[in-house]
Amino acid sequence: MTAVTHEVDLLVVGAGPAGLFAAYYAGFRGMSVAVADALPEPGGQITAMYPEKMIFDVAGFPAVRGRDLVAGLVEQASQYNPVYLLGRAAANLSTEEDGFLVRLGGSERVRARAVLITAGIGEFSPRPLPAAEGWTGRGVVHFIPDLSAHSGHDVVVVGGGDSAFDWALALHPVARSVTLVHRRNRFRAHPGLVRKVTDLGIPVITPAEIAEIRGDEEGVREVEITVDGRRDVLPAQTVVAALGFTADLGPITEWGLELEKRAIRVDSSMRTNRPRIYAAGDVATYPGKVKLIATGFGEAATAVNNIAVELDPEAHLFPGHSSDQT
């Protein structure tokens, strides 16, 4: 297959909130931008894990649904036409005379004068549900990007953390029934979340485990659970395996960057130890770091402004306020 090469001023690796805001801000600074992400949709963890959850710590929004925040960031960046390379993980990075050549998954390459890594916690994979082998995508899901797809279903949520209880709450208004199953009597979830679920009358079965998932060619039909040595059968067309996930930075760890506990060390300008490679958002670390979406937005703007000067020494670090441009 012939390799396709995109040539841009800035490659943003990671399409979460910090990466999307960086795409907007780099466009505002006059740069051409490509945004690469291993996930098939923009939004990073928000889109994959909690698109329906309300977020309360983004400045200017008393509360904003995850999906709506991502949509707003994509719309904000769209005025500068960034190139989205989704479903393509960044792999090899090689240095060229005026920047870098980054190979993505598949046959695509990006030639960029600078790189900004906004990869969050990196590539993450859901922990498997042993009884679900062969049923993933046929009724067993780990994330729910669209609640309406499960309208009228009997849903069994497996897990005891915040995500499990979040999904139970989100699905309750649209599903025919929701039952939460956890193998312990105690939960990792915040007590307030647990209380909300129980107050709604959502059945919570503990200590219980999924023994078997049964169905037909159309998908899951029921699950058999073990509870205190006995076996019960629950109707289910959707099984949500909310058992957490594992994450790592993948090939980025081989790019020659200084790492600290699965994060990339940066200075106050968001520079890494390699010229023209910057990092922002949860993937970046420095003394006093606070991991918030709001923090990532500021770091993205700081990185982009410093990149602008590094690419053009005659550029100003601070370009003025965007409101001055109208």
Q: Do domains 5-124+246-311 and 128-243 have the same CATH topology?
A: yes
> Is 107 within any annotated ligand binding site?
no
User: Given this model, what pLDDT does residue 261 score?
Assistant: 87
> Is 37 within any annotated ligand binding site?
yes
Which residues, given as ranges, of the chain have pLDDT below 70?
1-2, 323-326
From the centroid of its chain, how far is CA 207? 30
Partners of 86 in beta bridges: 37
Q: Considering the entire predicted model, what is its pTM?
A: 0.80
d(CA 58, CA 294) in angstroms, rounded, equals 6
Structural element, H or E, at residue 194: helix 191-199
> Is 143 within any annotated ligand binding site?
no
d(CA 157, CA 179) in angstroms, rounded, equals 6
> Is 237 within any annotated ligand binding site?
no
Number of separate helices (H) and strands (E) present in the chain:
6, 22
- In this structure, the strands spanning 259-260 and 245-248 are unpaired
> Is 90 within any annotated ligand binding site?
yes
Residue-wise pLDDT tens digits, 32-53:
999 999 888 899 888 877 777 7
Angle at which helices 191-199 and 162-171 pack, to 10 degrees?
30
User: Given this model, what pLDDT does residue 325 score?
Assistant: 63
User: Given this model, what pLDDT does residue 145 score?
Assistant: 75
Q: Which CATH architecture has domain 5-124+246-311?
A: 3-Layer(bba) Sandwich (3.50)
- Per domain, the residue ranges of the chain are 5-124+246-311, 128-243
Residue-wise pLDDT tens digits, 52-68:
778 999 999 999 998 89
> Is 282 within any annotated ligand binding site?
yes
CATH number of 128-243: 3.50.50.60
Task: Judge residue 290's burial from the number of C-beta atoms within 10 Å of its C-beta, 0-12 exposed, 13-18 middle, 19 or more buried.
Answer: exposed
User: Given this model, what pLDDT does residue 323 score?
Assistant: 65
